[in-house]
Amino acid sequence: MATKVVTRAVPDELHTSAVTDGFHIVVDALKLNGVETIFGVAGIPITDLARLAQAEGIRYIGFRHEQSAGNAAAIAGYLTQKPGICLTVSAPGFLNGLVALANATTNGFPMIQISGSSSRAIIDLQQGDYEELDQMNAAKPYTKAAFRVDRPEDIGIGLARAIRAAVSGRPGGVYLDLPGDVLAAALDANVAAESLVHVVDPAPRQIPAPESIDRALNLLASAQRPLIILGKGAAYAQADADIRSFIETTGIPYLPMSMAKGLLPDNHPQSAAAARSFVLAQADVVMLIGARLNWLLGHGKAPQWSSTARFIQVDISPTEFDSNRPIAAPIAGDICSALSILLTKLKPGSIRPGSAWLDAIAKRKQGNVERMAAHLNANPSPMDFYSALRAIRDVLAEHSDVYVVNEGANTLDFGRNIIDMRQPRKRLDSGTWGVMGIGMGYAVGAAVVSSEPVVAIEGDSAFGFSGMELETICRYDLPVVTVVFNNNGIYRGDDVNHSGGTDPSPTVLLKNARYEKLIEAFGGTGQYVTDPQSLAKAVTDALAARKPALINCIIDPRAGTESGHIQNLNPRSAITNSKN
Ligand code: ADP
Ligand code: TPW
Ligand code: MG
């Protein structure tokens, strides 16, 4: 958001005549609020909006499918703390984008989907308009907020409400409906200029109560086996230095949730990631910073957790407390404010994790690291997940500025454990829903807002959900290196059809698929690799070139496990089929 305080003003040069229209007002309102990029797919009724935005200096990134445009907008929002903007056409385009908007809401990413829509009068009487759909009401259940602008003079206030709803409190996805006739409607230019709103302080600080900080510090001081868990809310908050300082000053071991990896470098001595199940089960006081006790943390319950552990939770959304387990010391506020007050009030030496606890963690870590090293250093042929990821890990160790996008099942779970992160907010993955299809959208979004290279580590199934965006990557010449982990299957490539028929099993994909040829069709560089050395070289070369590349990385179809590391969530039929 622009920081200068200008309310109800519009740059003079934008208006030469006394009349303007909805299209121009939207663009003026976006510019006034510092929007630099729009991700979308053009068509009726927003084609001219996209064209005009581009003409007026807003970068427009056009996609092949709205879901990827929405995912790019969502991750842009996560990385910049400004709402990412996704522009879609009516009905089907809107619905295609809605999945990404819902995913943004679930993950707490600030995003606004602006969609054109058909004629209200016809929609409301269900008279069969071109792309007819009651979009605002369809969006409501899946978004943090949904608004529709019915008059051109309300565009300014409508966008202001959307921006505030997206970034204040817990961020999320907001829907803004712009009917085609509102976009085309004429309005006196002075009235339009007067109607614009510059949003001042869109995500106001939320300062926690001092007593909530004291309660938390006292509980930590009483702990023998304290643990801090950093979630992606902590990464989003950009309180990096204070978080590190609190962890290092207290000496408390910490676990990063997957998108919080890199907040402190993964090789930090206090990281307990290599002893994860041990610390979850043994900790007596747990401090959650921007992390929810959802399925990703076993809901905070036994058997993963001790039933006597007590919890501190720092969160901007007070209704999160006690959602799965009682929170003994809730700190309601934004993480920047909370950490700064925690540090101010922290008395030197008052919090001391027991040495037995630290020793036990160190011992566990060592054992687990040795076991992992044995897997990483084996060199099976064909490659398995360990050997392929080790090759990528070693290259990325020299490129800590690179964004890592990661989705799949085994590709995701092994990738999270093996690829070390050294900088905050560089790891972007399937997140709270464990959704497939974010890959190319997140890669484009990250590359566009940062101008840094991206390595997208993609299961072959996961890649397929957004693979056509390779054309987008090539069209904008983005430094995105996509590595497809090709085990020709969802989880594994060796399952069989239990009917005995010739159709492949539901989890099997085409054998010998040449994914690298897809990017060659668009002028990018394709590589086919079957060993770790060639993989490392292909990634190194592609990063050096800073050009679009796809590496088809052949993985043993037998290497993965069904559902990756969450087999416990996969119901299986207990009854054996006679043909099994
Ligand atoms: P993870 O999946 O990494 O565990 P979650 O998405 O489950 O993380 O949790 C993130 C939490 O962080 C949410 O409950 C959200 O309300 C909270 N949050 C997001 N931004 C902030 C912030 N600036 N200050 C405090 N809490 C925040
Ligand atoms: C939108 C279900 C979870 S993981 C996965 C699917 C289809 C793909 C796993 O295969 P992949 O990875 O990517 O090849 P790997 O390494 O294990 O072989 N639809 C959506 N989201 C989800 N999560 C699914 C389906 C699923
Ligand atoms: Mg696969």
- β-strand 186-188 against 19-21: which pairing, if any? antiparallel
Contact 257 CB / ligand 1 (< 6 Å): yes
H/E element, 173: strand 173-179
Quote the CA–CA distance of 161 and 202 in Å, as a whole number. 10
Contact 229 CB / ligand 1 (< 6 Å): no
Quote the CA–CA distance of 562 and 385 in Å, as a whole number. 14
Q: Which two tokens stand for residue 433?
A: 């829903």
Nearest to 40 by CA among 73, 9, 72, 62: 62
Contact 208 CB / ligand 1 (< 6 Å): no
The distance from CA 165 to its chain's CA centroid, rounded to whole angstroms, is 18
How far is the centre of ligand 3, averaged over its atoms, from the C-alpha of 538 (Å)?
20
The residues, ordered by sequence, that sit 6+ positions from 126 with a Cβ below 8 Å of its Cβ are 132
Q: What is the pLDDT of residue 575?
A: 87
Nearest to 287 by CA among 317, 328, 238, 240: 328
Contact 564 CB / ligand 2 (< 6 Å): yes
Quote the CA–CA distance of 260 and 338 in Å, as a whole number. 17
Orientation angle between helical segments 385-396 and 532-545, nearest 10 degrees: 30
Tell me 549's DSSP state.
E
- The ligand 1 atom nearest the CA atom of 320: 14
Whose CA is closest to atom 3 on ligand 1?
231
How far is the centre of ligand 2, averaged over its atoms, from the C-alpha of 458 (Å)?
10
List phi, psi (to 5°) of 348. -55, 130
Q: Can you tell me which residue has the tokens 């905050």?
A: 424
How far is the centre of ligand 2, averaged over its atoms, from the C-alpha of 570 (Å)?
13
How far is the centre of ligand 3, averaged over its atoms, from the C-alpha of 413 (Å)?
12
Q: DSSP per residue over 229-296, as a string?
A: EE-HHHHHHT-HHHHHHHHHHHT--EEE-GGGTTSS-TT-TTB-GGGHHHHHHH-SEEEEES---SGG
Q: DSSP per residue over 41-94, as a string?
A: ---TTTHHHHHHHHHTT-EEEE-SSHHHHHHHHHHHHHHHSS-EEEEE-TTHHH
Q: What is the pLDDT of residue 11?
A: 56
Core vs surface per residue 148-170: b (16+ CB within 10 A) or e: bbeebbbbbebbbbbbbbbbbbb
Q: Can you tell me which residue has the tokens 């040795």?
A: 370
Q: What is the pTM of this model?
A: 0.96
Contact 290 CB / ligand 1 (< 6 Å): yes
Whose CA is closest to atom 19 on ligand 2?
436
**Rg (alpha carbons) of the chain, rounded to whole number:** 25
Q: Which two tokens stand for residue 353?
A: 């994790």
Whose CA is closest to atom 20 on ligand 2?
436
Mutate to test the pocket of ligand 1, among 107, 213, 236, 339 (most ligand atoms within 8 A of CB): 236
- Which pLDDT tens digits describe the chain residue by residue (580 residues)? 333 444 445 555 554 559 999 999 999 999 999 999 999 999 999 999 999 999 999 999 999 999 999 999 999 999 999 999 999 999 999 999 999 999 999 999 999 999 999 999 999 999 999 999 999 999 999 999 999 999 999 999 999 999 999 999 999 999 999 999 999 999 999 999 999 999 999 999 999 999 999 999 999 999 999 999 999 999 999 999 999 999 999 999 999 999 999 999 999 999 999 999 999 999 999 999 999 999 999 999 999 999 999 999 999 999 999 999 999 999 999 999 999 999 999 999 999 999 999 999 999 999 999 999 999 999 999 999 999 999 999 999 999 999 999 999 999 999 999 999 999 999 999 999 999 999 999 999 999 999 999 999 999 999 999 999 999 999 999 999 999 999 999 999 999 999 999 999 999 999 999 999 999 999 999 999 999 999 999 999 999 999 999 999 999 999 999 999 999 999 999 986 544 4
Contact 436 CB / ligand 2 (< 6 Å): yes
Q: Can you tell me which residue has the tokens 């099993």?
A: 505
Contact 77 CB / ligand 1 (< 6 Å): no
- The ligand 2 atom nearest the CA atom of 564: 17
Contact 334 CB / ligand 1 (< 6 Å): yes
Cis amide prior to 45 (ω within 30 degrees): yes
Quote the CA–CA distance of 62 and 424 in Å, as a whole number. 28
Contact 259 CB / ligand 1 (< 6 Å): yes
Quote the CA–CA distance of 454 and 543 in Å, as a whole number. 8
Contact 170 CB / ligand 1 (< 6 Å): yes
